[in-house]
Amino acid sequence: MKKMTWGLRNKKLIFLILILLIGIAFRITALSDYPKGFYPQEALLGYRAFLLSNLGKDELNRVRPLLFVSSQDYQLPVSTYLILPFVKIAGLSKFTVRLPFAIAGVLSIVGIFLLGKILFKNDEHSNLPYLLAFLMAINPWGFFFRGLLIPKA
């Protein structure tokens, strides 16, 4: 087997960076405008993160709970605690509430690329991981339905 030349490695790295930039552009562009409106669950997550970042308590005056109780069910704290640092740094807005989920979408591109590298590790010259990453970057579900990443109440 021939070793990959330095020029080919650079080209593949540049191609991967280009794929990531496409994914970032699709996921971050107009983040506060799309999806239209601000869903009640998004507002609740943002409000909880705002309260926790400023007061250290949730809407029921519980100190940093590990399980949130709403009127309908119990909710896990992962979404709220992911949003919390963004709300603390940049303030409460649609953009800051949706940003952690957009970042997760970009990280999914990297994840699918690494998964492809693992699955196709025997073929050094395989372009399939790059194809998988590109398909993940342009996958409409990842950026048209950003609201689906936020659990509905």
Whether 6 is in a domain gets the answer no
pLDDT in tens, 97-131: 888 888 888 899 999 999 988 888 877 667 888 98
pLDDT in tens, 9-64: 778 888 899 999 988 888 887 777 766 777 777 877 888 888 888 888 877 677 77
Whether 128 is in a domain gets the answer yes
Whether 150 is in a domain gets the answer no
Whether 133 is in a domain gets the answer yes
Whether 28 is in a domain gets the answer no
Number of domains into which the chain is organized: 1
Please, how many CA atoms are within 13 Å of residue 145, restricted to the half-sphere of its CB?
Answer: 8
Whether 26 is in a domain gets the answer no
Whether 4 is in a domain gets the answer no
From the CB of residue 93, how many other CB atoms can be counted at a distance below 10 Å?
15
Whether 5 is in a domain gets the answer no
pLDDT for residue 134? 92
How far is Cα 26 from Cα 31, in angstroms, rounded to an integer? 9
pLDDT in tens, 79-92: 888 888 998 898 88
Q: CA-CA distances (angstroms) from residue 151 to 9, 10, 37, 49?
A: 40, 40, 16, 15
> The domain containing residue 43 runs over which residues?
35-145
DSSP 36: S
Between helix 40-54 and helix 78-90 the angle, nearest 10°, is 70
